[in-house]
Chain A
Amino acid sequence: NAGVTQTPKFQVLKTGQSMTLQCAQDMNHEYMSWYRQDPGMGLRLIHYSVGAGITDQGEVPNGYNVSRSTTEDFPLRLLSAAPSQTSVYFCASSQGREKLFFGSGTQLSVL
């Protein structure tokens, strides 16, 4: 049972490049979400999904897109990377309103 798997673990982008952070879970959870974590700060919600085909914006959605075509996968797309998007990104899933299971994170640097 792998839980929540995020790829890649590390990524360096140049300003203006686009990329997709992958997230997959094998627990059949309906709820999935993406957070970013900046130094000295808590986790801030980017986007979330309550089921396949349903997504919604969180606290800091600008510059990011998501889609949820299957229960298992919830990719996060950076449309045109900016230095302000340098951060650590975490994907999480849960069943209902219960505890979140987090992936191990993706450390992204935008130069």
Chain B
Amino acid sequence: GESVGLHLPTLSVQEGDNSIINCAYSNSASDYFIWYKQESGKGPQFIIDIRSNMDKRQGQRVTVLLNKTVKHLSLQIAATQPGDSAVYFCAPHSGSARQLTFGSGTQLTVLP
């Protein structure tokens, strides 16, 4: 099965600073990775995804970096805003599994 870990369970950043959330995975067969954001009292929401044939993908204020060699990915949020305060999950997919594995998440708190 998949083992998903997060380097930091909590992260506090000043408003306007950049945030980096890390995620380690163990299954080398994982070939598709999704980041979700979960605000308090709500269901997780898709942020950005990346496939294993890429090592970087950018969205609006977010960038995901994938390092398959060390089985690590990160989510970078530029100019962090109060609305970015949430729990962030990474979810690796492998071709043979219909199941998604989620880590415990990283709680991002944006300080004024």
List residues of chain A with CB under 8 Å of any chain B CB: 4, 31, 33, 35, 40-45, 48, 50, 56, 58-59, 90, 92, 97-105
Contacts and interface: CB of A to CB of B under 8 A. Distances in A.
Contacts of A50: 98
Nearest to B93: A97
Interface in B8-60: 32, 34, 36, 41-46, 49
Contacts of B34: 99-100
Contacts of A104: 42-43
A16 to B, nearest CB: 29
Contacts, number: 53
**Of residues A33, A45, A97, which shows the largest number of chain B Cβ atoms within 10 Å of its Cβ?**
A97
B100 interface: yes
B98 A42 contact: no
Contacts of B49: 98-99
A102 B45 contact: yes
Contacts of B45: 102
Given A40-B104, A42-B105, A56 B98 contact: yes
A7 to B, nearest CB: 14
9 contacts: A4-B43, A31-B98, A42-B101, A92-B43, A97-B98, A99-B46, A100-B36, A100-B91, A105-B43
Contacts of B46: 99-101
B110 interface: no
Contacts of B43: 4, 90, 92, 102-105
B99 interface: yes
